Chain A
Amino acid sequence: MSLKHRFVLAVAITLVLSVPVGAHPMEGQNAAFVQGVDGPAPGPFMYLGAKHMVTGYDHLLFLVGVIFFLYRLKDVVLYVSLFTLGHSITLLAGVLGGFQVNAYMIDAIIGLSVVYKAFENIGGFEHLLKVRPNTKIAVLVFGLFHGLGLATKLQEFTVTRNGLVANILSFNAGVEIGQILALTVVLIAFVYWRTHRSFLEHAFVTNTALMIGGFLLTAHQIYGYVIYS
């Protein structure tokens, strides 16, 4: 395959991953359920959290970027824990403290987090901008933003105070379960891919495609912000 073909393929894959750019689908029946809930409902909220993570391609693209060059399981666990810590803090604090931010702006920042990580992966900061931002802090900070997005989404529906803490904790637990499920699949794919020489050959192109996905998410959210806010 020529470089051009590889690039087209990578773009196509990214497109398939990011085209239905609603990013956080909690619509129809699920939304109606959340609105109707009064009291603790751990099962459904855990399910919604897991579904949110598995079907939220912005989170998934970010995680792909984060673990791209993490070869040791120890590092994967460390970075994913930082991300989890970040989004748990803002999810809990956001819903309990009742602070809400504009969902489109948050989702635009999440899109930029994908761009940021992919840009770092192609050596953009080190070789082009000649800076070395701390990766661990960046992942933690973007985790905080992702959590704020989750909190805002949950609060768009009138979640009653009754059983609120139990429901957020369940939602958060579901998010972790979904994250582990998604990560397992992504990691298996990476472990397999890394045994091939093509991994390093295509790393640059793949991360460029990842940037396209991130920019697309960001553009869509900014457009939504301009139209609906």
Chain B
Amino acid sequence: MSQTNKAVSPRRIALAAVAAFLTALLLFVTAVVPAEYGIDPLGTGQLLGLLALAQVPAITTESSEYRLDAAELELAPSEWVEYTYRLEQGGSMLYSWQATGPLRYNFHSAPDGAPPGYAESFDAKESDHAHGSYMAPFIGVHGWYWENHSTDYVTITLSTAGFYSDAHEARDRVDGFHRLTDLRGNKIDHVR
């Protein structure tokens, strides 16, 4: 393989290697560490405005009202239930549910204006519990479908908190709205 100029002296090569190492070290300490980790040992991050790059937005503020919901749903063998909330785009909620037995479930969302039966699925498994947080990628109805494949009755205890309006329950034959509670625990009628 060809090399650069044969006239390059070993001294110059050594100098270049050391200079490269020191330059990298300097750039690392003055630019990369402040920008990537938010640590500013020499104050250069502040000076160059690089510290702002390391800040992760920890808070998303919401304009809609904060609501709480708790629901207990009983499923007979081979029965299913669908429980959904209305969320705006970017609306978030925390959820936790626990069942007395394993269920097949599917967390899905149907955007407003989508053809009937269309939904995007985000989490589908067989389990007796799930906890997490959800941020709606679009406006529409968002929630769970649970199916009891066992031969026993199973009770699901669901609790959520977030920025939804409306909770809706649908079963094989029955269909209805749940009353949500506000921040103070007062029942509020479903809002459209």
Do A and B pair up? The answer is: yes
Chain A contacts to B: CB under 8 angstroms: 11, 15, 19, 21, 69-71, 75, 115, 118-119, 121-124, 126-128, 135, 200, 203-204, 207-209, 211-216, 218-220, 223, 227
Given contacts A15-B27, A122-B16, contact A223 B4 (CB under 8 A): no
Q: Which 7 A-B pairs have the closest CB atoms?
A: A215-B24, A211-B20, A219-B28, A208-B16, A128-B10, A128-B13, A123-B3
- Are the C-beta atoms of A219 and B2 separated by less than 8 Å? no
Q: A residues within 8 A CB of B5? A: 200, 203-204
The answer to whether A69 and B21 have CB atoms under 8 Å apart is no
B100 to chain A minimum Cβ distance, whole angstroms, is: 28
Chain A residues lying within 8 Å of B28, measured Cβ to Cβ, are: 216, 219-220, 223
Chain A residues near B6: list those with CB within 8 A. 123
- The number of residue pairs between A and B whose CB atoms lie closer than 8 Å in the complex comes to 90
- B4 lies within 8 A of A203 (CB): yes
Q: Are A219 and B25 in contact, CB atoms less than 8 angstroms apart?
A: yes
Say if the beta carbon of B23 comes within 8 Å of chain A: yes
Q: Chain A: which residue is nearest B29 at the CB level?
A: A219
B binding-site residues for A, Cβ under 8 Å: 1-6, 8-10, 12-14, 16-17, 19-21, 23-25, 27-28, 31-33, 35-37
CA distance A211 to B18 in the complex (A): 10
Taking A204-B8, A216-B24, A219-B24 as contacts, is the C-beta distance between A124 and B33 under 8 angstroms?
no
Asked if residues B8 and A122 are in contact (CB atoms below 8 Å), the reply is yes
| B13 proximity list for chain A (CB < 8 A) | 122-124, 127-128
Cα distance, A208 to B3, chains bound together (Å) = 14
B37 CB contacts on chain A under 8 angstroms: 223, 227
CA A214 to CA B23, docked complex, whole Å? 11
Query: Shortest CB–CB separation between residue A25 and chain B, in angstroms?
Result: 13
Query: For the complex, what is the distance from the CA of A71 to the CA of B25, rounded to whole Å?
Result: 33
Is A19's CB under 8 angstroms from B24's CB? no
Q: Is the CB of B3 within 8 A of A215?
A: no
CB contacts (< 8 Å) of A135 on chain B: these are 1
Given A19-B32, A122-B8; 7 other pairs, CB 8 A cutoff: A19-B35, A70-B1, A122-B16, A127-B13, A203-B5, A211-B16, A212-B20
